Amino acid sequence: MAKPTFCRLAASAALCTGLITAAQAAYAEDADLGALSIEQLGNVEVTSVSGTAQPVGEAPAAIYVITSDDMNRAGVRSLPGALRLAPNLHVGRLNASTVAISARGFNHQTGTANKLLVLVDGRIVYTPLFSGVFWDEQNAIIEDLDRIEVISGPGGTLWGSNAVNGVINVVSRNAHETTGFLATGGASDASQTLGLRYGSRFGGSGAFRVYALGLRRAVDEPDEWRNAQTGFRADWVTARDTLTLQGHLYGGEQDAPSPAAFDTNISGGNVLGRWTRRWADESELQVQAYFDRVQREIASGIRADVDAAALDAQYSFALGGRHDVVLGGGVRITRDSFTPGPATVFLDPDERRLETYNVFIQDTVELSPTFDVIVGVKLEDNSYTGLETMPSARLAWRPSENALLWLGVSRAVRTPSRFDRDLINPGVLAGGPDFVSEQLVAYELGYRAQVTDRLWLSASAYHNVYDDLRTVEATGPLVFPLEVRNGMRGETSGLEVWGSYALTDWWRLNGGISLLEKDLELRPGSADVFGVGFAGNDPDVQASVRSLMDLGERTHFDLTLRYVGELPSPNVPSYVTADARIGYRVNDHLELSVAGYNLLDDHVEFINPALPVQESSPSVFISARWRS
């Protein structure tokens, strides 16, 4: 759907009042608006006045927002790196270019976690090959990102299939906010990053930026990764209309991480247009279209080409004073072609066009000034399983101005991917001709509050009931060929708590913890060969504490302590690690920083049995950022 952010879409009588971040907590305590210059005023985040928008504080879901300030202070150099800041995600590095990311469990040992939907500026970036994300294709100049919204829990009603355990929205800045030159770069002994951007206004209401980004990771290591990307974004903003055009072009090379493996080359490009019209009565129409092409080639001869095109429209409006309605629909078509090379594993058919059509409606009903009920449903038709229904109902209660209690029941599905249905290895694997969608019904309860001036807290609990989870099953007494089926079901429960506490006006602590308990089982009659452990390799506990200090006007000093519990299978011991960064603003143009990562020890984050085990080791990264 044309849904750049949760904030915009979660229609509600309550409006989008800006982002809950510790940065703003500190800001609000530090200074009232009157102390800001007129230039700074224009950078204060405020209500997005449209009736469709909803503040993070009001959104009845477990949403964590990574702000640009968070990313800058953490010295983030990649999207997966940024996602480590979200307490409701598990991020496990496999090697320089490969990372496994999931929410609420099901992080897959092959790095193909498939229950998390990821959008970059409204463009769905999961691959129809396995319904997961190739993170090495997703790069950006971090300084040009506005924020990343991380929603744990299902979002099928708004975002559609695959938004099962979570949704990640990466939102880049409007070109009006990125005028001028920016040069940003840094290096450690094993990695280098350089980004250049130029932006300017043009005409009466337009602005654009162009950028180029290059990176090298694990330099001279077996898994060295080189990537280059360029792109643009242009925005025209008038009183009624906003028009955005953007595009990216990239290419990368990854050296084989082991002698038994092969080099991988990727290239791709995409272009997106989005038009929003807002009327005086606060109704809003948004239309978005994009085209995306990705090519991956493994030197052994395996090659996958995936094209995706999508068109979405949505309209939101207030109805009779009590209802805020958003409705819309869209179509997404992917066409892939898979060349197996000399490998004995292939997709049958080797080319396939998949079509997804959807319509949705969501109504936020103001029952009373403190009670909202939000009901909605998405109907989505896909080429493999036909019609899928994704309803949800949520209740939001504001017992006081500073607190929100919410609960929700939602259904979400993960529709079959090419690998689920069409992957053939003669005599070994016979695809999944009967594989249907994996299903989830999620029960959630959450509480968020500004407890005191200094303390902000969010807690979400969930109980997820899954059915038709993927299994790989023996087809007879001889076991082979195996077939992909839906032989697993089960439940997970968990708790996610995070918060921010301002010790002083120059020092604050952010903390988060997430607990997960899984209880999965094979259905009677299932002849699964991998066992329930194959569904996900997840820690029971993750926790982190960040200390953020402003030492005077120009210097930041930040420390992060992170704990990730043991992973059962393949076993990865629990670890504690620390990062530290000191940033110094020399003047209005130049900022220098030194960061140390993984300072406590060498540790393994995640294991793919098919790849060499990689340790994350202590490293020091020096960087500089210059803005005109």
Does residue 514 interact with other proteins by CB under 8 A?
no
Bridge-based pairing of strands 116-120 and 166-172 is parallel
Cis peptide bond prior to 349, omega within 30° of 0: yes
Does residue 590 interact with other proteins by CB under 8 A?
no
The beta strand positions in 555-618, using DSSP E, are 555-564, 575-585, 590-597, 603-604, 615-616
Indicate left, alpha or beta for 104 from its phi (over 0: left) and psi (-120 to 50: alpha). left
Binding span for other proteins by CB under 8 A among 197-205, 485-493, 507-515, 528-536: 197-205
CB of 367 to other proteins, least distance (A): 13
Does residue 32 interact with other proteins by CB under 8 A?
yes
The residue among 204 and 342 lying less far from other proteins, judged by its C-beta, is: 204
Question: Is the Cβ–Cβ distance between 446 and 461 less than 8 Å?
Answer: yes
Does residue 402 interact with other proteins by CB under 8 A?
yes
Contact code string over 455-494 relative to other proteins, x by CB under 8 A: -x--------------------------------------
Binding span for other proteins by CB under 8 A among 191-199, 231-239, 423-431, 519-527: 231-239
Does residue 44 interact with other proteins by CB under 8 A?
yes
The residue among 200 and 267 lying less far from other proteins, judged by its C-beta, is: 200
Does residue 176 interact with other proteins by CB under 8 A?
yes
Binding to other proteins (CB under 8 A) within 261-280 occurs at 278-280
Q: What is the DSSP string of 303-364?
A: EEEEEEEEEEEEEEEEETTTEEEEEEEEEEEEEEEEE-TT-S-EESSSEEEEEEEEEEEEEE
Q: Which residues pair with 238 in a beta bridge?
A: none
For the purposes of burial, counting CB atoms within 10 Å of the CB of 171, is it exposed (0-12), middle (13-18) or buried (19 or more)? buried
Of 33, 479, 600, 620, the one binding other proteins (CB under 8 A) is 33
CB of 163 to other proteins, least distance (A): 23
Of 187, 190, 212, 237, the one binding other proteins (CB under 8 A) is 237
Binding span for other proteins by CB under 8 A among 44-52, 352-360, 437-445, 475-483: 44-52
Residues in the chain: 628
Q: What is the DSSP string of 418-485?
A: HHHHHEEETTTEE--TT---EEEEEEEEEEEEE-SSSEEEEEEEEEEEEEEEEEEEE-STT-PSEEEE
CB of 55 to other proteins, least distance (A): 3
CA distances from 44 to 17, 33, 47, 145 (A): 11, 9, 10, 16
Of 2, 10, 16, 66, the one binding other proteins (CB under 8 A) is 16
Does residue 497 interact with other proteins by CB under 8 A?
no
CB of 417 to other proteins, least distance (A): 34
What gap in Å lies between CA 447 and CA 188, rounded to an integer?
41
| Three-state DSSP class for residue 600 | coil
Does residue 588 interact with other proteins by CB under 8 A?
no
Q: Which residues pair with 496 in a beta bridge?
A: 460, 514
CB of 421 to other proteins, least distance (A): 40
Q: How many CB atoms lie within 10 A of CB 272?
A: 20
CB of 522 to other proteins, least distance (A): 44
The residue among 355 and 453 lying less far from other proteins, judged by its C-beta, is: 453
Query: Angle CA(562)–CA(566)–CA(568) in degrees, nearest 5?
Result: 150
Does residue 204 interact with other proteins by CB under 8 A?
yes
Fill in the amino acid letter for 422: D
What gap in Å lies between CA 207 and CA 203, rounded to an integer?
8
Does residue 38 interact with other proteins by CB under 8 A?
yes
Start-to-end CA span in the chain (Å): 36
The residue among 280 and 387 lying less far from other proteins, judged by its C-beta, is: 280
Does residue 145 interact with other proteins by CB under 8 A?
no
The residue among 57 and 257 lying less far from other proteins, judged by its C-beta, is: 57
Does residue 320 interact with other proteins by CB under 8 A?
no
Of 2, 3, 10, 50, the one binding other proteins (CB under 8 A) is 50
Of 1, 2, 56, 261, the one binding other proteins (CB under 8 A) is 56
Question: Is the Cβ–Cβ distance between 97 and 136 less than 8 Å?
Answer: yes
In the complex, the residues that contact other proteins under the rule CB under 8 A are: 7, 13-20, 24-25, 27-29, 31-34, 36, 38-39, 41-50, 55-58, 146, 173-174, 176-177, 201, 203-205, 235, 237-240, 242, 278-280, 282, 366, 369-370, 398, 401-404, 448-450, 453, 456
